[in-house]
A and B are shown apart, each in its own frame.
Chain A
Amino acid sequence: MSKRQLAMVMDLNKCIGCQTCTVACKTQWTDRNGREYMYWNNVETKPGPGYPRNWEEYGGGFDKDGNLQEGIVPSKSGDYGVPWDYNLDEVMRGAVLEPQATTKIGPNWQEDVGGGEFPNSYYFYLPRICNHCSNPGCLAACPRGAIFKRDQDGIVLVDLKRCEGLKYCIAGCPYKKIYFNPKISKSEKCIFCFPRIERGLPPACAQQCVGRIRFVGFLDDKDSQVHKLVYKYKVALPLHPEAGTQPNVYYVPPLSGPRKYDKNGRPIEGSDRIPLEYLESLFGKGVKPALATLQAEMKKRQDGHHSELMDLLIAYKHSEMFRIQTATLHPLKVI
């Protein structure tokens, strides 16, 4: 649909769930003007209901024949969570820390739940931004044609002048990554930090990432890290590809972690703590070969051989993570 396509790859094996990306995005874009409840970038724990709660059950996306499917518009108070403050002034005078509102739900409300039974419980973090899809559900759903995909980089944006706040886009996005701003009655979403991209800088979430899990570049640039991870090594996979929107954020699936324990507390050789079926329900059938490639390359490196894939994923320098060459007037050097 677009001439070029920016993409992001997130290595879930390195995400520590610190929410620095969330804060980077929030302070940059969503801490004001009706956007307070929005997390254009959020990190949720999987398995879990995520943000907005149960978003995977709220429809949108395309059916197998390529027709847009129905979806629902989540509620701020019931599904996203109303932001609250704490009684910090009173705490300074000895009070117990308490939220200043009756809190029912918030982003990543079930952070510590995860899946499985002790001692074989498991979880991992899933950072999410807008997928800047190749066939975006939000764009397709807008009856007014107010959502567009930029030709030069595939970033999906809302034309706020055309938007009438009808919210069909929210129903149409299978990831629920487009939000309604009730203060201005318009839809808003992750803009892939396009003002930064136009200066050759990665999005704020990627720049600030403590675990250095995020790679940014053009999918059509064969020398880009994202191209190598997605196409050459095929270790980066789209989230819920069955939703049919062809997302452009890709995930390196988490390796299974420690073995499961039997009832006597002994590790079960060859067991997967994170069930393969669960990972496949998120990232599709590419999970098994991707994990096999990762393990083979790890082994290679452990045996003292060179592995381009491992060197890539280690991400020593920002310049080895981001390759954003755009036709821009004022490029800034990535440091």
Chain B
Amino acid sequence: MTAWCRLLTASLLGLTWVLPASAGESPLSSHLIEAQEVKGDLPAAPTDPAWAGVPARTFLAYPQRTVRLNDKRANEASKTEGPEPLAVKAVYNARDLAIWVEWKEETPSKVSRSETNVFGDSVAFEVPIRFGPGLRLPYVGMGDQKLPVRIAMQRAAEDGTLANEYVAAGFGSLTRTSKPFAKMGMTYDPTTKVWRAEFTRPLVAGAHSMAQGLVPIAFAVWEGAASQRGGNKRLSSWQFLKLSRYPVSPAYQRQIAAAVTPAAGSAEKGRQLVTQYCIGCHRFADQQSAQEGFAPDLSSIGAIATTGYIRESIGQPSEVIVPHLNINRHYDKSAKPDRFRAYPNADGFKFYVLDDKGHKASKMPPFSLPKQDLEDIVTYLQTLDGTKE
């Protein structure tokens, strides 16, 4: 037994103290990834035997359905695809943090340096650039304009692992960082048919610190064989990396718990209300009458969004304006084309409108509903996990 493993055992025993058994059912603890503190070096690769002693938490990544991209093969493959279980582990020492992800893949695929339609299996995590007491969580789909995220992504390629880091303020805004922090590597195990990936980065890197007691973190995986890349992916909801070495203020703990505690209304009443109010613009479950691309598709909103976000998006939809896809995807055929026969874009497909001062406001008006109605609606929306066709 290495010194590292001994230490790990010690900290595992300490777990019962950090995380009381009853907390296993509390809403917050079901979103926690307990990072194990170690002295000395962190495991150097996803295959490092030291990882075997670290407990994993498994949660699901769901197909991205908020917007629908235009690759026919990817969309066809996505129709029948369910959620992907991700097993995640984390360890840290005084300086660095290592995150380990394992997921099943029957048909591994790597980025090709010669073929044009081969896609690589990939994994990424995002962490808000700013987080903590008083700050809401960023939009789970790669952050938002007020609260951007930092993303580390690795792709399996035939000439090694392609590692990139980005900052993003909502999908479409992904921009490579000039100063990457993380070391990455991923390995396929053909006997158990799983990918294992590791990300290692300094706890404090530049102005970005993960040296806090509760770090919001979300994951995404891409299946190359299903033509997944970019927005065609599976993503998790916000999870929380718990680094016991650092204190967590009770206020922050309460805030996070409130954000992830499921609503407790009537899903059936909620379904009726949502059908009454929302189907003109939104698609979800078997309600597909709204125009495609007119508003975010809610088919898997319950699986990827927190209770707090769903509630806020109804009451204050302008707090986070979900980005629409490229507005040039829809043009206005009823308008007069210009002298080069170009039609103007159909601005109705923008998810925002500009107010008199030129500020962006969500196209969706704020709904002030009786408290119980709101609770019922949120309860229903939380049942939407992309499986109700």
Q: Is the CB of B340 within 8 A of A168?
A: no
Establish whether residues A73 and B71, one from each chain, have CB atoms under 8 Å apart when the complex forms.
yes
* Interface hits, A151-168 → B, CB 8 Å: 154, 164, 166-168
CB distance from B289 to the nearest CB of A (A): 16
Q: Is A72 an interface residue (CB 8 A)?
A: yes
B172 touches A143 (CB 8 A): yes
Closest residue of chain A to B68 (Cβ to Cβ) is A70
- The reply to whether B71 and A168 contact each other, CB–CB distance below 8 Å, is yes
Query: Is B116's CB under 8 angstroms from A171's CB?
Result: no
Most buried by B among A141, A143, A220: A143
Q: Does A69 contact B (CB under 8 A)?
A: yes
Q: Output the least CB separation between A205 and chain B (Å).
A: 21
B248 part of interface (Cβ distance < 8 Å): no
CA A65 to CA B112, docked complex, whole Å: 37
Identity of the chain A residue whose Cβ is nearest the Cβ of B349 in the assembled complex: A67
Produce 1/0 per residue, B62-79, CB < 8 A to A: 000000011111010000
The reply to whether A180 and B174 form a contact with Cβ atoms under 8 Å apart is no
Chain B residues, CB < 8 A from A179: 116
Over the window 48-65 of chain A, the binary record of Cβ atoms lying under 8 Å from chain B Cβ atoms (1 yes, 0 no) is: 000000000001101011
Across the interface, name the chain B residue whose C-beta is closest to A5: B340
Known: A67-B330, A70-B72, A144-B172. A246 touches B115 (CB 8 A): no
| A172 to B69 CA separation, bound complex (whole angstroms) | 10
How many chain A residues touch B (CB < 8 A): the figure is 50
| Interface status of A293 (Cβ within 8 A of chain B) | no
How many angstroms between the C-alpha atoms of A183 and B292 in the bound complex? 35
User: For residues 37 through 88 of chain A, which have their beta carbon under 8 Å from a beta carbon of chain B?
Assistant: 37, 59-60, 62, 64-77, 80, 82
Q: Is B171 engaged at the interface, CB distance under 8 Å to the other chain?
A: yes
User: In the complex, what residues of B have CB within 8 A of residue A220's CB?
Assistant: 339-340
By secondary structure, the B interface counts as loop
Contacts of B370 in A (CB 8 A): none
Task: Please measure, in the bound complex, the distance between the C-alpha atom of A199 and the C-alpha atom of B10, giving whole angstroms.
Answer: 73
Q: Specify the chain B residue showing the minimal Cβ separation from A75.
A: B117
Contacting A at CB under 8 A, from B328-378, are: 328-333, 337-343, 346
Contact B292 A67 (CB under 8 A): yes
B349 to chain A, nearest CB (A): 9
A289 at the interface (CB under 8 A from B): no
Say what secondary structure dominates the interface of chain A: loop
B116 touches A75 (CB 8 A): yes
Q: Are A246 and B333 in contact (CB under 8 A)?
A: no
Interface residue range, chain B: 35 or more
Interchain nearest-CB distance for A3 vs B (Å): 10
Contact A70:B70 (CB < 8 A) given known A80-B116, A134-B341, A141-B326 = yes
Q: Quick check: is B250 within 8 A (CB to CB) of the other chain?
A: no
Contact B340 A66, beta carbon cutoff 8 Å: no
A69 touches B342 (CB 8 A): no
Q: Is B333 a contact partner of A144 (Cβ separation < 8 A)?
A: no
Q: Mark B221-261, 1 if CB is under 8 A from A, else 0.
A: 00000010111000000000000000000000000000000
Q: Tell whether B186 is near chain A: CB-to-CB under 8 Å.
A: no
**Residue numbers in A under 8 Å from B339 (CB-CB):** 219-220
Say yes or no: B328 contacts A135, CB within 8 Å. yes
**Cα(A131)–Cα(B172), bound, Å:** 26
Q: Separation in Å of the A192 CB from the closest CB of chain B?
A: 14
Identify A143's interface contact among B231, B292, B341, B346, CB under 8 A: B231
Question: Which chain B positions have C-beta within 8 A of A66?
Answer: 330-333, 343, 346
**26 pairs, A vs B, C-beta closer than 8 Å:** A66-B331, A68-B328, A70-B71, A70-B72, A73-B71, A73-B116, A73-B117, A73-B227, A75-B117, A134-B337, A134-B342, A140-B326, A140-B329, A143-B231, A143-B326, A145-B172, A154-B340, A166-B230, A167-B117, A167-B229, A168-B69, A168-B230, A180-B116, A185-B111, A246-B343, A248-B340
